Structure 1
Amino acid sequence: MLKNKAADEKVDTLLSTSQIPIIDLAHCGTEECPIRSVVNRVGGQLFKALTSKGVAMLVNHGISEEKIKMAYNHLDDFCKLSDDTKEMYLRRDGNHGYVKPGQEQFDGKFKDIRHTFNICTLKPEAALPEEPLPGFREHISDLAQDFQRLSSLLLQALAVGLEQPYKYFLEKHTHILDGESENQSTFRLLYYPPLIEDDGKNELLRGTCKYSQQRCTRDEIDLSLPEDYRIKLAEEAEELATQYTRCGAHCDYGTFTLLVQDCEGGLEVKLPGSDKWKRVGHLPGAILINAGELLSTWTNERISALPHRVVIPEEEALKSRGRHSIAFFIHPDNCTDIEPIEIPTSSSSNSLDSMDKKVKNRKKSFKTAKTKIYNAYQHVQRRFKETYAS
């Protein structure tokens, strides 16, 4: 058995080197009846994690792993549909709907190669592929509601961490998944197709789902193909990698994002104050939370929006496997004005004399007046135009 590079050389990740905070959500209660003492503890941990790292891992969140895997299967089934059928669900006037590989371009250089289905509302009139895929609507709606309940708890915890009233953020996020006319929050299913096909045909743009149930092994590669054929496939993959990426570098637009992903890897981030891309790694069963641009503005940049990307694997064996993830982008209601809130500072900061404070406050007010976003809707629409401009 020939071992690949990933097995021979252990690659350090932020998780393996304990650089990402892990927050335990056990016993938080429910959105309607939260356990205040636990929410208070989570709020402090969440504030510390997001101000220092921009990201954290959430464990014991209560969302079933089986539901998540079934959602991956539903997206696989959707990708197997004919092109004509998939075209019926394309993202058009709004953000809801199917996004084909190559439609998005986050970094301005490479087109993103992934199949995406955006869900912006769970209302009965929402265009979901229930007719070709019976059970799709019921299962995905159930899972999205689980994520929505979790996000409501986190909004309360975040308010506590920022020393605001419990409902400070809840009151600004009352229409999540009620539709784009009210709120831009999006529950997003993502599938990144393999870069190399075993049949030798370039099916990159179409993708395939035959790798969706792959095992998460890293210690062997298929030697059944002739050497010259494997070299040819590798060369084709290298050429395609100069035109496409799995997801270009960007920051999320809203308040925060909840992300689950399989174990195939590829997610990289830049931690606050660093210019280096670091692999995140995989923690089974965990949900990643990262801060978005609106939260950064809200906190006067005390919390940084996290730059991140999904790269094409360097290992040949991993290029021939697909990757799944689910992202829940939490946005404020459209009409919400985004203005920096007062965040308590440390005692050392309080040692400044009153004159220095006044000068700083004047500078801060001037900066805020220059950069203030009028409302959440305008900011997100501007970002969408940049992403889909091509």
Structure 2
Amino acid sequence: MSQINEEDNHLETLLSRNMVPIIDLGHCGIEEISIPSVINRVGLQLQKAFTEKGIAFLVNHGISDDQIRAGWEKFDHFLDLPAEEREKYNRKEGSNRGYVGPGIERFDGKTPELRHAFNICSLDPESLPHNELGNLAKILKSLASFILKALAAPLDIPPTFLLDTHSQMLCGEDANMSTLRMLYYPSVVEDEPGQEKEVIRCGAHVDYGTFTLLAQDSEGGLEVKLPGSEKWERVGHLPGAILINGGEILSLWTRQRYHALPHRVVVPEQKYIRARSRHSLAYFCHPNNATLITPNALFFPDGDKSESTVYSALELIQKKFSETYGKQ
């Protein structure tokens, strides 16, 4: 495992204060056949992380730095294309897949978000600007499947419940809204001509789905509010690790025992950080669209089993997309 970047390690972060759990996947994260003892250990560690913090760093997950870096390079190549070529892949209204330019998404409804994004929702070659991005999506899908098996292990549910309810990941939006999102954040230069004063890299929100896997190339302003706190705190960057955080659907399924953590990406105040660009990628793991989300699904021995409103996974995410894209 790489060491923390020396340029950033003087920043006070949750990582520097040892406040983010670090979970070792034992090099089993993308293997087809999982070792039961590793699944059980990781499941208990994830349960503790999600109930106490809402996030964790995953190490020894099986995805190499070179594989992730190659994905970022291909995305850079896409961004270098002429505008008319990029526009062929623009995200269309009513869809989540494709390219989203800076300023389109505004989580608070008003502040432009300074980033380029490309959403991959299926492995159909026609929807991908580079096949290598499809290969990266397949690898992250395998890691997500491992996490789903581990999450089920300590719960009072069938071992395959989460795998079965997520069986159509990356089969397209009609079946499942799981998405690999490639992200590029440009450098921020003060008083740059034409740049809006009020910008943010990503506005405050909680993720919509089951969980999110995040890889990033540097400390770039990711902040969270830990459970029970109203204070925004910088997470920090652990090279080679993948950050996992719980989403709203997992929180609903567990009656809020597992936290959906509010987070944002600010423009860093440190000039040496804001002056460099930043890459990241996020794999948003969602249940199949037809899956009914009810707090009675993931039983806890002492849990409240009373009835409550039931939504499909698709209904929940469509509501969120309307809030994010409908106020431009």
Of 299, 304, 308, 1:342 maps to 299
Aligned partners of 1:64, 1:10: CA distance in 2, in Å? 26
- State whether structure 2 residue 309 is matched by structure 1 residue 385: no
Which protein is bigger by CA-based radius of gyration?
1
Specify whether residues 203 and 338 from structure 1 end up closer, same or farther in structure 2 by C-alpha distance, changes over 3 A only: same
Corresponding pairs, count: 319
- Distance 1:166-1:203 versus aligned 2 partners, 3 A rule: farther
Partner of 1:106 in structure 2? 107
| Residues 1-33 of structure 1: per-residue CA shift (max 9 Å, x gap) | xxxxx9799321111100000000015375542
Provide closer, same or farther for how the CA distance between residues 321 and 15 of structure 1 changes in structure 2, counting only shifts above 3 A: same
CA distance in structure 2 between the aligned counterparts of 1:174 and 1:380, rounded to whole angstroms: 17
SS at match of 1:154: helix
Q: What is the match of residue 56 of structure 1? A: 56
Q: Structure 1, residues 125-151: CA drift from partner, whole Å, max 9, x if none?
A: x4222xxxxxx21x1111111111111
Partner of 1:250: 205
- Cα pair 1:176 1:331 within 8 Å, conserved: yes
Pairing of 1:56-95 with structure 2 (within 5 A): 56-92=56-92, 93-95=94-96
CA distance in 2 between counterparts of 1:76 and 1:32 reads: 31
Q: CA deviation at 1:163?
A: 3.4
* Matched-pair contact (CA < 8 Å) for 1:156–1:169: yes
Secondary structure of 1:296 counterpart: helix
Q: Distance in 2 between matches of 1:188 and 1:378?
A: 21
CA apart distance, 1:165? 2.2
Structure 1 residues without counterparts, runs of 5 or longer: 1-5, 130-135, 205-239, 346-359
2:182 equivalent to 1:181: no
Deviation at 1:304?
1.2
Mapped to 2, the partners of 1:94 and 1:74 lie a distance apart of 23
Match of 1:151? 144
State the shift of 1:342 in Å.
1.7
2:238 to 275, 283, 290: 283
Distance 1:382 1:182, change over 3 A: same
Report the 3-state secondary structure (helix = DSSP H, G, I; strand = E; otherwise coil) of the residue aligned with 1:151: helix
| Off by >6 Å, runs of 4+ in structure 1 | 6-9
- Please state whether the residue corresponding to 1:57 is helix, strand or coil: strand
1:121 has 2:78 as partner: no
Question: 1:33/1:202 Cα in 2 relative to 1: closer, same or farther (>3 Å)?
Answer: same
Q: Counterpart in 1 of 2:13?
A: 13
What is residue 193 of structure 2 aligned with on the other side?
202
Contact 1:256 1:330 in 2 (8 A): yes
1:163 aligns to what?
A: 156
Q: Tell me which residue corresponds to 1:294.
A: 249
- Tell whether 2:45 aligns with 1:45: yes
Task: State the 1:315 CA deviation.
Answer: 1.8
- 1:351 is aligned to none
Residue 324 of structure 2 corresponds to residue 331 of structure 1:
no
Cα gap change, 1:9 to 1:304, in 2 (>3 Å): closer
Aligned partners of 2:224, 2:251: CA distance in 1, in Å?
A: 16
Q: Give TM-score, length-normalised by structure 2.
A: 0.92
Counterpart residue type for residue 19 of structure 1: M
Distance 2:29 2:202 in 1: 35
CA deviation string 1:143-186 (max 9, x = no partner): 11111111101000000132322211000000000000000000
CA deviations on 1:264-316 (whole Å, 9 max, x unpaired) are: 32100011111001100011100000000000000011011010000001122
Measured in 1, the distance between the counterparts of 2:159 and 2:214 equals: 24
Structure 2 residue aligned with 1:35: 35
Percent sequence identity over matched residues? 52
Shift in CA distance, 249/191, structure 1 to aligned 2, threshold 3 Å:
same
Measure, in 1, the Cα distance between the counterparts of 2:256 and 2:84. 45
- Map of 1:356 onto structure 2: none
Given that 1:27 and 1:35 are in contact with CA atoms closer than 8 Å, whether structure 2 keeps it comes out as: no
Trace 1:222-233 onto structure 2 (pairs within 5 A).
none
Give secondary structure in 1 for the equivalent of 2:153. helix
Contact 1:241–1:312, Cα closer than 8 Å, also in 2: no
Q: Which amino acid aligns with 1:175?
A: Q
Residue 193 (1) aligns with residue 186 (2): yes
Listed one character per residue, the Cα deviations across residues 26-72 of structure 1 (whole Å, up to 9, x for unaligned) are 15375542110110010000101011000000000000100111111
Q: Aligned in 2, Cα 1:297/1:120: closer, same or farther, shift over 3 Å?
A: same
Counterpart of 1:12, as a letter, is E
Q: Please, what TM-score do these two structures have when normalized by structure 1?
A: 0.78
